[in-house]
Each structure stands twice: as structure tokens, then as C-alpha cells.
Structure 1
């Protein structure tokens, strides 16, 4: 799985994790935690790969704890069949949107949105979390660090057997 940011207002800008890197005796280490940020211009790209044979059913989850101010987010499926190179990913080179999966509205209650998808071995599934076009200008701003071991707040995928 990978998580990357893109910015419509700076369409050629490539985000990197240099600020979160740390140097050790073994070399430079990039953390497993990744920043998720959604504003009127910034969106977050999530990339997953189906890796287990016989597990052709995937379920995408968006889990967000209660928030003070409701915000309408849009979740899109992107047209990608090969892994994206996040070291060169920018708004201008991101894959096109092929479908809007849903509007997601975090609010005063915890949110656990999910959608089942088919996914064959080695399928690459890419999604974009963005502010909804219906959201008033300047009112959309969500940010969190997605930790690999935690489930909320998070966007994650589960693979299940077809049997």
C-alpha cells in the first residue's frame, strides 16, 4: 500500500516524505506512517495491490473518528492497472478518475464506510480521497497520519476468499 498527496493548485509538485525521514547507522529510513490531507486543492491517493491468491474479494474501508465540523469528502476510483511511481506522482500525472464511489461525511459519530470490490491476484487498485465539489470553498480541511498498525483514522483494504 502507498499513500501520496497531489495538489491541483500546484499541478506539477511532487510531495515527498523527506521531512519525516530519519537517519540511522543503517541509512535513511522512511516511516511507515503516511500523511493523509484533504483540502479544496489537495487530495490523497491510496494505492493497493491484491497479493493473495484465491482472495478475489476486496473491501475498501474508510474509518474516521468523530470530528468537530462535518466535511463532505468524495472517494474516487482511478484508472490504474500498474503501480504508480509515487516519487514522480503529481496532480498532472495522476491517473484519471473513472468512477465516484461515494460521498463520505465524517461527523459527530465515528464513520466506518466500506465498499466491496472484485480484485484478482496482482490487481492494482487506486483511489483518490478529495473534497466534494458540493463542499463550500474553504470549509474542507482534514488531515491525519495514517499508521500502519492502527485502523482509525485510516483508509485500508481487506482481501477475502471467494469460497
Structure 2
């Protein structure tokens, strides 16, 4: 090719080519149909349907139970349930037998607590303790305190079979200056029996929520070097024996700590054989 020859651009398409108009239209229609979005109707499977139905059913059932709980009366606390006897059948075994002679059982109170008339809603918890080289020690002794406004409650557990004749005993030693604080005035102590179905709740015991009195067991004028006993009464096996100690005279005072190993001081429940 000579340098003076003119440049002729190539054709982009063959001018002699002839296209079929029908083929072109079909191709455009298929392209348009491909570009259009496919719209499908929502479809729920049976699993989703039954899952929703069961959820609604259980929700309604829970609401029904909640409604029953609201309308039902309060269930009695387990602390007021009767203690099951561990001596089933022994009463039949000892029937028509020669009366047995057993030594009396002396029981230490399982609970000693105070209430205060001058502070009706106060709850007094005896949690005295002391620290030692091997940890904190909670001693077994419990305080007995009586004043014109302070009342003390005692509770015993009469759990033994055939020991259902009980006597409440109070022992005051002679060395009162070391163990017992007594007022100089006459101190008249009244002992009331309390009917309780179970153990007293010391977490709630106060003057405003004190248990109701039942019978007057004894009335004693407390002096040093004295021993007092109530009349004998029946204490069924497997029962709680609860007493209220109150002071009648103005200015009266009884204050001491009762210990399980010091048998000559404090209140004790004597259980005698009833067989």
C-alpha cells in the first residue's frame, strides 16, 4: 500500500446481511420476560402452621393455670403440718401390759425468745457469739428475761413414746449474784400454756404477732435457792409444748442465761412414763 492511499474504515456489519424480523422479535420478547421479576404467592408449610397453633394452645393453658392460682386459697405452710409418728403400732404392743417404770426425761428448751410490749413490732433474735482462734463460736446458752414489759416464750419437743405425763420445772440456785439477776421486790411469775400446731417462727415473733394464751399452768413467787414445779399434765408424743412467761409486779426482774449442761438453773420439761 502506497503512502498516498486513502484509509477506508471497515464496516461494523455486513450491509448485505438480512435479518429475519420474526427471530428478532422473539429474541426481544424472551429477553423482556427474563428481566421481569418473578412474583410468587406466600406459602406456609404445615410445620409452621402447627407450631403456631401449639404455641397459642400452650399460652392459653398457662393463662388458665395462672387464673386458678389467683383464685385458689393459700396453701397451708409446711411448718404447720403434723409431724409423722415414728412409733406406729407401739400403743397396741403395750396394751394390757404391766405398767413399765422408766426414769423421767429432762428436756432442754428448743427455743427461748422474747417479745417487748414497749416495742410491739420488734423481733428479738438471740444470735450472741464470740470469736476464737479456730473460728466463730455460737454457744448453746439462751437468755431468759422477764420485766414488766418483756415476756419470754419457751418451747419444748415432747417426742418420746410412752412419756406423756409432763411437768414444767424451774430451778433457781443460791448463788444468784453469779448466774441470776433478781429484783429486790416481790417477783410473781405466771406461766401460760400456748396451743401451737408447730414450731414458733422466731423470725416473725413479736408482741404484735404473739401467739394466744390457752391455760394458766402455774404462778410462782421467784426466790433464790428455790425449785418450782407445775401440776402434771398430758403431753402427747410428737408434740410441741409451748409456754409464755410473764411478770406481774411492777419493777420485777428475772434475767439469766440457761445452759444445757447446767441442770440446777432454768426451765426444764420433765417427761414421766405413761405406760
TM-score range, shorter chain: 0.7 to 0.9
Q: Aligned equivalents of 1:27 and 1:121: distance in 2?
A: 38
Which of residues 120, 123, 143 in structure 1 aligns to 2:236? 120
Structure 2 gap ranges (5+)? 1-109, 175-181
Alignment of 1:89-128 (within 5 A): 89-107=205-223, 109-128=225-244
Q: Aligned equivalents of 2:136 and 2:237: distance in 1?
A: 32
Residue 126 of structure 2: aligned partner: 17
Which of residues 146, 150, 165 in structure 2 aligns to 1:42? 150
Moved more, 60-69 or 32-41: 60-69
- Other structure's SS at 1:145 match: strand
Retained in 1: the 8 A contact 2:199–2:240? Answer: yes
Retained in 2: the 8 A contact 1:17–1:30? Answer: no
Residue 159 of structure 1: aligned partner: 271
Give the TM-score normalised by the residue count of structure 2.
0.53
Retained in 2: the 8 A contact 1:60–1:117? Answer: no
| Structure (1 or 2) with the larger CA radius of gyration | 2
Structure 1 gap ranges (5+)? none
Q: Aligned equivalents of 2:208 and 2:133: distance in 1?
A: 37
Higher RCO (C-alpha under 8 Å, 6+ residues apart): 1
Q: Deviations over 1:31-84 (max 9, x none)?
A: 210000000000110001111112111111111235673311111111212110
Q: Quote the RMSD (CA, aligned, Å).
A: 2.1
Q: Deviations over 1:4-56 (max 9, x none)?
A: 111111111111123x1235688754321000000000011000111111211
From the two aligned structures, give the one with the greater strand fraction.
Answer: 1
Q: Deviations over 1:79-129 (max 9, x none)?
A: 212110123211122211112222110125523333312111211111011
Residue 36 of structure 2: aligned partner: none
Retained in 1: the 8 A contact 2:169–2:227? Answer: no
Structure 1 residues 27 and 50, CA, compared in 2 at 3 Å: closer, same or farther?
farther
- Could you tell me how far 1:2 is from its partner in structure 2? 1.0
From the two aligned structures, give the one with the greater helix fraction.
Answer: 2
